[in-house]
Structure 1
Amino acid sequence: MRRDDHAHRHLPSAVPQRHDLRSCAELAPYLARLGISHLYAAPIFEAEPGSTHGYDVVDNRVIDSSLGGDEAFQRMAAAFRAEGMGIVLDFVPNHMSASTYNPYWRDVLEWGEASDCAQFFDIDWSAPKLLVPALGSSYGAALGEGRFGLHFDARDGGMTFTYYGLKLPLTPTSYAQVLMRADGEDFAEWARRFAVATPQTSAELKAELAEAARDPATHRAIEQAMAAVAADADALHELHEMQIWRLTHWRAARETLTYRRFFEITDLVGMQEERPARPRRDACAAVRSGRSGQDRRHPARSHRWSRRSQSLSGAAAEDRRRGRPVLSRGREDLGAGGGAARRLAGRRHHRLRVHPRAR
């Protein structure tokens, strides 16, 4: 009996069409019998909800909970190591998702250049505003048609400017424009405190507002004040103009975008790779732990990453010398047309794939 025939006789009864980290751990013995040497994982860090590829990463500090999280990753790594297989971990240091799911980007939308996270992104701060090209019409038309609104999140005390499903955070100093419309001396004090808020004090202020909003009367007064502003086109426009960002027609992205995007994908914002940044250090943590290799995509100004890659190459050589599972890195392990290339071609691909062992 050929080895492949023997492996297929032991095929698990229910092999899922799409894998998470837990199912891959369970498949490790079967994949080893097939002669698989490595699992390729597209970026496994927290990505946009429902992401099928992981390149729209929103937080490099945590492994995506939809894939099983850090515990499932450690279990999978241990299962593959036990079978003599390696893991090729793909991550993208050049860009992140430009969405409010990204805590770094959200902080920039709130505070602009004053944000501690502003250094991470390649943004033209000489421009008057950080453009958000998300509108299906001109700004004036959307305002006149009543497409905009306001939303208060009672869980964290945050206020957002809405356009259909899009919720852009208001800069905390502009909360005063809303709170001053609510009745009561308490709201006048809230308005005064938010008017002088800073990046260092705003989180505490919003937490206090959320706590106060647990009272139904207070919550109702905030909602009524927001509704009053949203119903007044002039007041809503004034509030819009107070923000770090400015909503504009989606076609404006080609000519007037004020941040570097990934190719022509406006939803992916470029990172400043020449400057130290926490997202990149966090992305390297799993690699440095010795549990995976790396496949670094689309490098831009990557001299810093070249030194990192050389360091990882030395670690891989040491693994080979000691007889540990080989930790592969680089596009040469994946063959022509890796995951990112397929994504750019418009084809969907799974975040977890396996590659045959070299004969």
Structure 2
Amino acid sequence: MRPSSTYRVQLRPEFTFTDAAAQIGYLRALGAGALYASPVLDATPGSTHGYDVVDPTRARPELGGEQARKELAARLREAGLGFVVDIVPNHMAVEVAKANPWWWDVLRHGPGSAHSGFFDIDWRRGKLLLPVLGDDADVAKLEVDGDELVYYEHRFPLAPGTGEGTPREVHARQHYELIGWRRGNAELNYRRFFDITTLAAVRVELPDVFHATHGEVLRWVAEGDVTGLRVDHPDGLADPGSYVRMLRAGAPGAWLVVEKILHPGEDLPQSWPVDGTTGYDALREITGLFVDPAGEAPLTELARSLGQPVGYAEVEDTARRLVTDGILVSEVRRIAALVRGVEPEAARGAVAETMIAFPVYRSYLPEGEAHWAAAIATARAARPDLAEAVDALDFQVREDPHGELATRIQQTSGMVVAKGTEDTTFYRYTRFAALNEVGGSPDDFGADVDDFHAMAAAREAGWPAAMTTLTTHDTKRSEDVRARMAVLSEVPDEFAGAVRRWTERRGIDEPSLNLLAWQTLVGAWPITPERLRGYLDKAAKESKLRTTWTDHDEEFEKTVAAWPEQVLGDAELSAEVEAFVGRVRGPGWSNSLSQKLVQLTAPGVPDVYQGTELWDLSLVDPDNRRPVDYALRAALLEEIRGGWLPEIDESGAAKLLVVHRALTLRRDSPGLFTGYRRLRAEGPAVAHALAYERSGLIVVATRLPVGLAASGGWRDTVLPLPAGEWRDVITGTNVTGELSAMLARYPVALLVRGDS
């Protein structure tokens, strides 16, 4: 069942099913069509996000368990709201082995376990390797406690009849081998989620595994408790197409969207029976509208002058090689071993080069053949010395596109692209971080308005029920931070001058992080030292330039940790930063309101991430999982529903007004939200007006507000309106096509016919 919109909540032990149920009245008043929840199945004890599922057969007890889940579903039904649940088919958590009953059984019984085939383990290579020790010598620190092997807080089961003797002797008898954690990347013999050894991949391509892992959720769908499913990370699956076909068969009436990251120009495979993606493509398209292409040259020169590489392709290539040559070595070796008739080292090189060269996350052979062919051609050109090995790889994959070799290289290419691009390049190539977003292309500086309208029309024609988004739990920064940062493209020289002064006074001795830090400080201001410190620590480690999560440069990390207090404690510098923020805050608010109205009214099903109905200046997780003040939002909404038209100010109530009006109209008048036609303004400021019509609905938004103000405002720019009277739903007033009057109070307008 397609919802009119969704409202995403992050469930955790501190915000349970019952807590979510307490907000149903607010969500109904806001206009939301469905509650969209983070994973609700049992997860690692204490998990704050739920993506580390340990038992897919029950609702998570720490969220209230089955009874609380049923009560939430019942109350949502009573309120007329749908219930969309996030599911995680690719992997299960094994960090706390005993919390995962299937994994515990595999450790105890090895290949003979009834659940051995559930996990993607290569038993051909011997015992299951568990990289949990400080180093290999720590086997001397193992202890036996009853029928368990103990290493500090880690516990592992003993195979029946193996508990006699010293701990080392007991360990030697098990189906698993505990090894030093540093050996994991190179020697691991089970597939994992990216490079996270505590998340073991699950073989949901097998029907019995699919039904075991999805039976409970599909029961909820069949009983009407769950109306939609969001599928996490389909690219990691052996055969995403077959998977979604099984899922659709099990949930024929559910709204079904997949977290598929589409590169520009890439489409979902037509054979997938889904309603669309989770909206990162829409995020990219909308964000680009508010970026001024004229800012590219000055900001590029700023980055270059500060010592940061400005060739995006080179930075990305280096980052991807870091992944294939270091982080995912065991995966590359496992794939290379499947290439017949090629010397092992050449096979490894061919596999790595091909995955590095992928123009998208992965192909879905035989669909997506063009992407595979492009990767092969690029790999062959990059390494002529490996041409024969690349050709052999290409032939064998095409020969059996559903075989193990083809499957593994496709599902692993997405890991290389994601880790190399999203989780490394986006923290290294920081020329203009507003573009460094999941699904984004930092080398595409600003969007062509004609292209935006074409893509919106195409979404309405092909994927009208796809999700659209501006903020998710995975975005690198919230929509409002991004909207303010977009203003920097309109004042690039002013920002460049400021950054040079600030860097000379309090710079970080790593160019990429330094530039990212100043952009983040401006974008998220005001921000506490604690929040900024946490963000910069993560950014420094993700970039892998001076320090990493596993190989620490302690002195550099201390320098980075001290930076927020030094900057915010420097009264003169802090005042200058605050003054600059004052210069871009207003235009940032204009961008925020405009991009939000576009997202909420353009083709697709819009999602509102928790709390973002007011200004939300959150950064990457875990910062974006902070508690939401729903009492404040409910109080402001009550005033808005009473007729209050708030000013555009620090309260963010103006954004709440726009969200409320748009969501309510979508829910109550769905017939208005069909079709798509571009509208064109006329006059001196046409470049700053974005307008389109749906079925009896017109949307008007302002873009590049700094340039608009500098040119004298709207002046006599008009938007010719179809015949009849038109009323702005946001302000409740009748309007004509004169933009200076229509957009006098707010930079956006949502028009319906006066008699509707």
TM-score (norm 1): 0.67
* AA aligned opposite 1:151: D
Task: Decide whether the 8 Å contact of 2:13 with 2:63 is kept in 1.
Answer: no
Paired residue for 1:268, among 199, 202, 206?
199
Correspondences of 1:138-153 after superposition (within 5 Å):
138=136, 141-144=137-140, 147-152=141-146
SS at 1:40 equivalent: strand
- CA drift of 1:312 comes to 6.8
SS at 2:121 equivalent: coil
SS at 2:51 equivalent: coil
Task: Decide whether the 8 Å contact of 2:108 with 2:175 is kept in 1.
Answer: yes
Q: Does 1:171 align with 2:171?
A: no
- CA drift of 1:124 comes to 0.2
Match of 2:135 in 1: 137
Correspondences of 1:16-35 after superposition (within 5 Å):
18-35=14-31
Q: Does 1:121 align with 2:119?
A: yes
Match of 1:303 in 2: 241
- CA drift of 1:76 comes to 0.8
Q: How much is the aligned-residue C-alpha RMSD, in angstroms?
A: 3.0
Match of 2:262 in 1: none
Q: Deviations over 1:242-267 (max 9, x none)?
A: 00000101111101001000000100
- CA drift of 1:307 comes to 1.3
- CA drift of 1:236 comes to 2.2
Correspondences of 1:187-206 after superposition (within 5 Å):
none
Q: Which has the higher strand share?
A: 1
Q: Does 1:289 align with 2:227?
A: no
Where does the alignment leave 5 or more consecutive residues of structure 1 unmatched? 1-15, 153-158, 178-228, 230-234, 318-327
Correspondences of 1:1-359 after superposition (within 5 Å):
18-98=14-94, 99-138=97-136, 141-144=137-140, 147-152=141-146, 159-175=147-163, 177=164, 229=165, 235-276=166-207, 277=209, 278-292=212-226, 293-299=228-234, 300=237, 301-311=239-249, 314-316=252-254, 331-332=278-279, 333=467, 335=469, 338-339=472-473, 347-348=621-622, 350=625, 357=663, 359=666
Q: Deviations over 1:145-186 (max 9, x none)?
A: xx211112xxxxxx11111000011111313x2xxxxxxxxx
* AA aligned opposite 1:315: G
Task: Decide whether the 8 Å contact of 2:129 with 2:176 is kept in 1.
Answer: yes
Change (3 A) 1:350 1:37: farther
Distance in 1, matches of 2:205 and 2:66, equals 29
Change (3 A) 1:342 1:279: farther
- CA drift of 1:336 comes to 5.2
Distance in 1, matches of 2:76 and 2:86, equals 17
Task: Decide whether the 8 Å contact of 1:151 with 1:162 is kept in 2.
Answer: yes
Distance in 2, matches of 1:240 and 1:314, equals 48
SS at 1:253 equivalent: helix
Task: Decide whether the 8 Å contact of 2:218 with 2:250 is kept in 1.
Answer: no
Task: Decide whether the 8 Å contact of 1:40 with 1:352 is kept in 2.
Answer: no
Change (3 A) 1:68 1:330: farther
Task: Decide whether the 8 Å contact of 1:94 with 1:273 is kept in 2.
Answer: yes
Task: Decide whether the 8 Å contact of 1:53 with 1:351 is kept in 2.
Answer: no
Distance in 2, matches of 1:169 and 1:351, equals 37
- CA drift of 1:337 comes to 5.6
Q: Which has the higher helix share?
A: 2
Q: Deviations over 1:165-212 (max 9, x none)?
A: 00011111313x2xxxxxxxxxxxxxxxxxxxxxxxxxxxxxxxxxxx
- CA drift of 1:339 comes to 3.2
Q: Deviations over 1:75-106 (max 9, x none)?
A: 11111111111111001111001232100000
Distance in 2, matches of 1:93 and 1:106, equals 19
TM-score (norm 2): 0.33
Where does the alignment leave 5 or more consecutive residues of structure 2 unmatched? 1-11, 256-274, 280-466, 478-537, 543-619, 631-658, 667-756
- CA drift of 1:329 comes to 8.1
Q: Deviations over 1:267-302 (max 9, x none)?
A: 000011221211233343223332221001111122
Runs of 4 or more above 3 Å deviation: 308-314, 336-346, 349-359
Change (3 A) 1:239 1:341: farther
Change (3 A) 1:341 1:129: farther
Q: Deviations over 1:112-136 (max 9, x none)?
A: 1100011111000101110010011
SS at 2:111 equivalent: helix
Distance in 2, matches of 1:63 and 1:334, equals 27
SS at 2:47 equivalent: coil
Distance in 1, matches of 2:469 and 2:102, equals 33
Distance in 2, matches of 1:244 and 1:43, equals 31
Distance in 2, matches of 1:17 and 1:125, equals 37
- CA drift of 1:304 comes to 3.0
Change (3 A) 1:330 1:81: farther
Q: Which one has the largest radius of gyration?
A: 2
* AA aligned opposite 1:148: L
